[in-house]
Amino acid sequence: MIIKGSARAGAVNLARHLNRSDNERVAVLQLRGVAAGELRGALVEMDAHGAGTRCKATLYHAQINPERGETMTPAHWREAVDRLEKNLGLTGQPRAVVMHTKKGRDHVHVVWSRIDVERGRAISNSFDYRKHQSTARELEQAFGHRHVTGPHAGREPGQERPARAPSRAAMQQAARTGIDPRDISAEVQEVYRRSDTGRAFEAALAERGYALARGDRRDVVLVDQAGGVHSLARRLGVRKKELQDKMSDLDTSSLPALAEVRQAQHDARPADEREQEQRQTNDRRAEQDRRRERQGERSRDRERLYQAYQAERQERREKDPGPSRAEAAARYAELRDRDKADREAVFQATKAGSAERAVGLSLASFRAIERRERLRAELARERQEARGPGWREWLDRRAETDQAAARYRDWLDRRAEADQAQDRNRRDDDRQQDRRREDDRDASVTRGVTYDRTNDAGGVAYAIDGRKAVETRAQRVVVHAEKSHQAIALGLELYRQQHGERVRVEGSDAFKTRVAEVAAERGMKLQFIDPRLAGIYAERRQEIEAERQAVQAVQPGRAAGLDARLPGRVPTSPGVELSGPTPAQAAQQAREAQQQQERAR
């Protein structure tokens, strides 16, 4: 396994690289700790966390690449990412995980924010190369993969250091010039071995089209036939002291400067080639100027339109603010009174301990959930009507009478079509599955639910879209569809209506964890008896609160994913200071509460 990584800046360029269409498949596996719902916005948001610091390289980009022939399960990928995050000291930082499939092989890119928002400083990335090596060796041992010898970890005593692979910058230069740095290394090393002195080495290089020059940061650099610049010591694979001894007869201060060597290479080319290159350069610069002009015009249009949109929203909000919190609380209170009346009616009409009473209470709980879902939808619709149309809907209406709005809308449509075409080419099944999971999470608890009495003991079976999902039995609620977000939410709602907020969960660890996460995501006020679940619930609630505050800090169009660069706004969320206990503290508090209860008994 090979792990590479480095601190860097340039969020937009990194997002463009991670979304490159030359990959057979691109899948965004995770966006954590950010308000944005797409990769580019997430990286821009993480980059903006460093706005209040002196840090320039605000991101840390790593790549995890297993050896050819080694298999990695989803659990392996998660463990690899989490272990690398821990070893780099980036635990809990916002991150984006992207999987690429290229030439039939999978590898994962992970991007973290290096900015500790609470302390207002960057997390150190010292000795990260050694941490990459040690993490790779740990993962190889954990997964049973073939051992790869690294320069810092996994070497036996006396074993030579493996050859250094070309850097990312060298490979990018090779893509531009068409000359592989490994081929250059092989050729230059052969010339070096055959040369006795520095002058003989320089002459032999010149015969093959290479040149030595004074570098900006190094004493001597190697210039290839296409003008690419290389570290001479790195291409030769020798130490700097050894190179200086062999080149002692060559006065490096008399070597031409790098710019002079490149100019000489340019002048040596035929005149027609130089003219053609100059025309291409002029055309490229003219196109860049036109692009900047179009971007400036679009930015001005966007600023004017968004200001008009905000003004209309404010005017509408002043005229009709929508239902207030007090009004909503009063309507919920009416529902609670009605729910109480239904339960009292069941108690009066049935005998204690009878199956009829159990069935009646279960169905009364389900009807209470339905009524609350309807009221929640009504309040949301009334608030939306008070807010008026969203940014994109408003823009479509404005485009009918405003040419600038029409131009900007058409540009958004073209960009959306390009993104959709790119997604189709990538065959990104994982994103579609993610969207289906999000739809399941946002669905109404009672959508598509039917029910039927199951036995004479008062059991009621609830089905979702015709499939058995939940069953109520006396003091228990059984969830049959353990992987369904809606089924778990329905089971929790039924239990809370009938038995209160204290919940004991039985089943596998994965099921228990999912129950705690569903309760947190749905905003249910529950008390888990299991301290571990209480900690998971508290941690997920804190993450959701941070995301909610971050979304409130950005513009409506940004939050809806319509336009990540609205005028006059930084496309990011500021650092959110969370209050309340940490997950570990919450778990400790739950354990202490349980111990106190046991002592009280």
Lowest mean pLDDT among 118-127, 338-347, 392-401, 571-580: 571-580
Burial class of residue 544 in the structure, from the number of CB atoms within 10 Å of its CB (0-12 exposed, 13-18 middle, 19+ buried)? middle
Instruction: Give the whole-angstrom CA distance, residue 232 versus residue 238.
Output: 9
- Do the Cβ atoms of 409 and 399 come closer than 8 Å? yes
DSSP state at residue 107: E
Q: Give the residue from 268, 292, 320 where a domain finishes.
A: 268
Side-chain-facing half-sphere of 101: CA atoms under 13 Å: 14
Question: Are 543 and 588 found together in one domain?
Answer: yes
Question: Are 210 and 89 found together in one domain?
Answer: no
Residue 36 belongs to a domain:
yes
pLDDT of residue 96: 92
* Four-CA torsion 481, 483, 484, 488, nearest 10 degrees: 70
- Do the Cβ atoms of 113 and 94 come closer than 8 Å? yes
pLDDT digits (tens, 9 = 90+) for 249-305: 888 788 888 888 888 887 887 888 778 878 888 998 999 999 899 888 988 988 899
Side-chain-facing half-sphere of 508: CA atoms under 13 Å: 7
Instruction: Give the whole-angstrom CA distance, residue 417 versus residue 536.
Output: 40
- Residue of 196, 194, 222, 192 lying closest to 210 (CA atoms): 222
pLDDT of residue 454: 65
Question: Are 56 and 133 found together in one domain?
Answer: yes
pLDDT digits (tens, 9 = 90+) for 176-194: 888 888 888 889 889 898 8
Question: Are 181 and 132 found together in one domain?
Answer: no
pLDDT of residue 161: 63
Read off the pTM. Answer: 0.43
Instruction: Give the whole-angstrom CA distance, residue 434 versus residue 39.
Output: 14
Mean pLDDT of all residues in 351-369: 86
Number of domains in the chain: 3
Strands, E assignment, 400-500: 449-453, 460-464, 467-473, 476-479
- Do the Cβ atoms of 514 and 537 come closer than 8 Å? no
Q: Is the pLDDT of residue 61 over 90?
A: yes
Residue 355 backbone dihedrals phi, psi, to 5 degrees: -65, -35
Q: Give the residue from 204, 235, 268 where a domain finishes.
A: 268
Question: Are 61 and 172 found together in one domain?
Answer: no
Lowest mean pLDDT among 334-338, 402-406, 441-445, 508-512: 441-445
Question: Are 205 and 243 found together in one domain?
Answer: yes
The whole-chain average pLDDT of the chain stands at 80
Question: Are 131 and 207 found together in one domain?
Answer: no
Residues 6+ apart with CB under 8 A from 94: 32, 33, 34, 42, 45, 46, 49, 112, 113
Question: Are 134 and 11 found together in one domain?
Answer: yes
pLDDT digits (tens, 9 = 90+) for 458-493: 688 888 888 888 888 777 888 888 888 888 988 898
What is the secondary structure of 19-66 as a DSSP string?
A: T-TTSSEEEEEEEES-S-SSHHHHHHHHHHGGGGSS-S--EEEEEEEP
Angstrom distances, CA of residue 543 to CA of 450, 512, 565: 33, 19, 25
Q: What's the helix, strand, coil split of the chain in %, to 5?
A: 55, 15, 30
Residue 308 belongs to a domain:
no
Strands, E assignment, 386-539: 449-453, 460-464, 467-473, 476-479, 502-503, 527-528
pLDDT of residue 559: 33
Long-range contacts of 273-282 (CB under 8 A, 24+ apart): none
Residue 478 belongs to a domain:
no
DSSP state at residue 253: G
Residue 390 belongs to a domain:
no
pLDDT of residue 62: 93
CB atoms within 10 A of CB 406: 16
Mean pLDDT of all residues in 186-212: 88
pLDDT of residue 381: 86
Q: Is the pLDDT of residue 47 over 80?
A: yes
- Do the Cβ atoms of 537 and 519 come closer than 8 Å? yes
- Helix (H) or strand (E) segment spanning residue 550: helix 531-552
Residue 488 belongs to a domain:
no
Question: Are 93 and 210 found together in one domain?
Answer: no
Question: Are 173 and 123 found together in one domain?
Answer: no
Side-chain-facing half-sphere of 427: CA atoms under 13 Å: 5
Question: Are 17 and 125 found together in one domain?
Answer: yes
Instruction: Give the whole-angstrom CA distance, residue 531 versus residue 180.
Output: 57
Residue 111 bridge partners (DSSP): 61, 96
Instruction: Give the whole-angstrom CA distance, residue 323 versus residue 379.
Output: 7
Lowest mean pLDDT among 122-136, 142-156, 512-526: 142-156
Q: Tell me the pLDDT band of 413, cut-offs 50, 70 and 90.
A: confident
- Do the Cβ atoms of 143 and 70 come closer than 8 Å? yes
Angstrom distances, CA of residue 51 to CA of 114, 117, 125: 12, 10, 19
Host domain of residue 559: 501-601
Q: Is the pLDDT of residue 162 over 50?
A: yes
pLDDT of residue 103: 79
Residues 6+ apart with CB under 8 A from 316: 386, 387, 388
Residue 458 belongs to a domain:
no
Residue 5 bridge partners (DSSP): 62
Q: Tell me the pLDDT band of 428, cut-offs 50, 70 and 90.
A: very low
- Do the Cβ atoms of 524 and 445 come closer than 8 Å? no
Expressed in angstroms, the distance from the first to the final Cα of the chain is: 54
Q: Give the residue from 143, 176, 198 where a domain finishes.
A: 143
Instruction: Give the whole-angstrom CA distance, residue 222 versus residue 258.
Output: 9
pLDDT digits (tens, 9 = 90+) for 550-600: 544 433 333 333 333 333 333 333 222 223 344 444 445 555 655 555 555
Looking at the chain, the whole-number percentage of residues with pLDDT higher than 90 is 10
- Within the chain, what is the greatest distance between any pair of CA atoms? 109
Give the SS3 label for residue 482: coil
Question: Are 533 and 586 found together in one domain?
Answer: yes
- Do the Cβ atoms of 136 and 143 come closer than 8 Å? no
Residue 575 belongs to a domain:
yes
Instruction: Give the whole-angstrom CA distance, residue 182 versus residue 163.
Output: 11
- Do the Cβ atoms of 144 and 67 come closer than 8 Å? no
The CATH number assigned to the domain holding 109 equals 3.30.930.30
Q: Is the pLDDT of residue 231 over 90?
A: no
Instruction: Give the whole-angstrom CA distance, residue 483 versus residue 506.
Output: 15
- Across 10-14, 68-72, 432-436, which has the greatest mean pLDDT? 10-14
Residues 6+ apart with CB under 8 A from 539: 582, 583, 586
Give the SS3 label for residue 223: strand
Q: Is the pLDDT of residue 425 over 80?
A: no
Looking at the chain, the whole-number percentage of residues with pLDDT higher than 70 is 83
Residue 289 belongs to a domain:
no
Strands, E assignment, 81-152: 95-102, 105-113, 115-116, 121-122
